[in-house]
Amino acid sequence: MKAVILDRDGVINQDSDHYIRSVQEWQPIPGSIEAIARLSRSGWAVAVCTNQSGIARGYFSQDILEEMHCRLRQLVRNAGGQVDGIFVCPHGPDDHCGCRKPEPGLLLQASKELGFPLSGVPVIGDAERDLVAARVVGARPILVLTGKGRRTLERGAAGDAVIFPDLAAAVESLLQYD
């Protein structure tokens, strides 16, 4: 099974240093929805693994988060694809859980629930924590320059990650060598 793991904020949708707190604030990055649909139509399993500490901080509820994810799923469906799983860490940075990236818990959960091995799986993110989580499980780190991606690159945190301007370009490359 071909699979890909995507971060959410800054990869699929616009990011905010003040958190995405409502469905209205959840705005897709141009080309991202179509890119996810292309992967899905090409037989790839698509997992989204996202830290959402705004829940622990009281900025939004689990219900609001679910509304955002329903919108994501619907937009991808409308584009002819599907999101196979969305895996969320609702904890804050001081909770010391195993699911908050850079810990690998969310990636391990996606692998187990969707039934794919993590070795070599592309993990597309915009932050160092996404890349670290990918490396820990032997996945392939890919950095996009949307969201926090440029800052990640400027800090020298990309390491061995392949770099693309956005999710659409990363997906184009994945499908080209599929």
Average confidence (pLDDT) over 136-147 = 98
pTM of the model: 0.97
Write down the catalytic residue from 7, 84, 130, 166: 7
Closest CA to 123 of 134, 111, 136, 110: 134
Residue 21's pLDDT is what? 96
Q: Which of 9, 15, 84, 130 is catalytic?
A: 9
Domains in the chain, CATH or no CATH each: 3-176 (3.40.50.1000)
User: What's the confidence (pLDDT) of residue 177?
Assistant: 78
Asked about 126 being catalytic, the answer comes back as: no
Q: What share of the chain in percent tops pLDDT 70?
A: 100
Q: Is 7 a catalytic residue?
A: yes
At 77-110, the pLDDT tens digits run 999 999 999 999 999 999 999 999 999 999 999 9
**Cβ–Cβ < 8 Å for 118, 82:** no
